[in-house]
């Protein structure tokens, strides 16, 4: 129910062609974008718990608004819920195709999956493999890939940046902001 209420709130705030949209899951939803980019028209379209199929279901109206930039961060929930990497990649490509066909002038930025802490260590090989797949795909399709992974890695997700091995604290979001500020501005 909370997710549905949040989605309804997001739909009530239309996107304009001058906007910079961040789409993803709880990591994106918790990103204090308006505070960290106060002079930019950022719009947060992160929804906690979203998997790639959920983003795929809601990407069309976002793309049809033709925002100037779209930052995508999705996939960790797929991996944690044992969605196959093939299915995740198919969904990712479909999301990008919808963006490109509905808004060919929108600049797309694909952000890597972040590392996870010890609690989720069994998922680390899949995260690494998917990041490699994304990076290769972006390179061969002239899409900007932003590799955030090494910024948070210390044998896993650096505990300094998280208390639950997955979600980020304010310090982590400052690192993330600093890594993407040149793409946002």
pLDDT at site 14: 80
Q: What is the pLDDT of residue 163?
A: 86
Q: What is the pLDDT of residue 5?
A: 58
Work out the mean pLDDT of the chain and round it to a whole number: 94
Helices 124-140 and 85-102 cross at an angle (nearest 10°) of 30
d(CA 128, CA 134): 10
Q: Report the alpha-carbon distance of residue 8 to residue 63 in Å, rounded.
A: 17
Neighbours of 61 (CB within 10 A): 12
Residues of the chain falling short of pLDDT 70: 1-13
Domains and CATH numbers, the chain: 2-178 (3.40.50.1110)
**End-to-end C-alpha distance for the chain, whole angstroms:** 35
R_g of the chain, CA atoms, integer Å: 15
Predicted confidence (pLDDT) per residue in 69-89, tens digit: 999 999 999 999 999 999 999
Angle at 20 between CA 22 and CA 145, to 5 degrees: 60
């Amino acid at each position: 129910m909370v997710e549905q209420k949040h989605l309804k709130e997001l739909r009530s705030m239309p996107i304009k062609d001058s906007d910079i949209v961040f789409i993803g899951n709880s990591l994106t939803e918790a990103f204090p974008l308006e505070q960290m980019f106060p002079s930019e028209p950022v719009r947060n379209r992160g929804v906690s718990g979203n998997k790639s199929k959920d983003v795929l279901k809601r990407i069309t109206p976002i793309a049809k608004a033709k925002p100037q930039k779209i930052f995508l961060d999705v996939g960790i929930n797929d991996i944690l819920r044992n969605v196959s990497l093939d299915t995740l990649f198919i969904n990712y490509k479909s999301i990008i195709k919808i963006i490109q066909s509905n808004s060919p002038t929108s600049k797309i930025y694909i952000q890597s999956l972040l590392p996870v802490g010890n609690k989720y260590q069994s998922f680390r090989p899949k995260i690494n493999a998917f990041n490699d797949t994304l990076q290769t795909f972006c390179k061969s399709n002239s899409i900007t890939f932003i590799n955030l992974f090494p910024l948070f890695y210390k044998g896993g997700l650096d505990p300094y940046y998280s208390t639950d091995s997955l979600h980020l604290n304010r310090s982590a979001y400052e690192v993330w902001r600093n890594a993407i500020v040149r793409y946002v501005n």
